[in-house]
Amino acid sequence: MLFAPLGAAKLATEDVFMFRKLIATDNDTATTILRLALGVIFFAHGAQKMLGWFGGYGFTGTMGFFTGVLHIPAAFAFLAIAAEFFGGLGLIFGLLTRVASFGVFCNMIVAVAMVHGQFGFWMNWTGAQKGEGYEYHLLLLAAAAVLMIRGAGAASVDRLLSSSAKNSIRAQVRPQAA
């Protein structure tokens, strides 16, 4: 087929528009600081689960714990590990920050619902509780929500991509000199 249907061109344009909205961000330094802090936290926890770094059990051990002890289906256990590890990397680099933040957000909702909610609000500072409360998780949820709304901020791949996309649009709109 030599010519694409008229609807295909419209769908391609909508896809590009949606991707641009996904990576759109400003040049805000505060957002960048928040993104980097959240990224480092989640990369470290994800590296424990995925690679066994920082005293973690690695992929096999974590999958065994999630599926055997917590009775999480294997697909969801894998998604939790991937959200922390790859989401942390995405946040550090500012690559698809809204997607990475959404993964982290979902991960924390599940952590509160399945594990930490039963221990109440407060963290276990004194060791008197049997586990950690959800106070810290609420902070991470708030940070992830801000990044889903604001985007990556300065010094990010998203910013670089969104800036080059804006420049290419301006170049297309500007009439060419003869």
- Reported as a single tens digit per residue, the pLDDT across 61-95 is 999 999 999 999 999 999 999 999 999 999 999 99
Neighbours of 128 (CB within 10 A): 7
* pLDDT of 177 higher than 80: no
Mean pLDDT over each residue of the chain, to the nearest integer:
88
Q: Mark 11-44 as b/e (b = at least 16 C-beta within 10 Å).
A: eeeeeeeeeeebbbbeebeebbebbbebbebbbe
pLDDT at 80: 96
The predicted pLDDT at position 95 comes to: 97
Distance CA 135, CA 46 (A): 20
**Spans of all domains in the chain:** 28-159
pLDDT for 171: 43
Which amino acid is it at 124? N
Per-residue pLDDT at 167: 56
What letter would DSSP give residue 113?
Answer: H
Q: Mind giving me the DSSP string for 27-70?
A: --HHHHHHHHHHHHHHHHHHHHHHH-GGG--HHHHHHHIIIIIS
Tell me which of 51-55, 110-114, 128-132 is least confident: 128-132
pLDDT of residue 170: 46
Here the tokens at position 39 are: 């990224």
Q: What is the pLDDT of residue 109?
A: 96
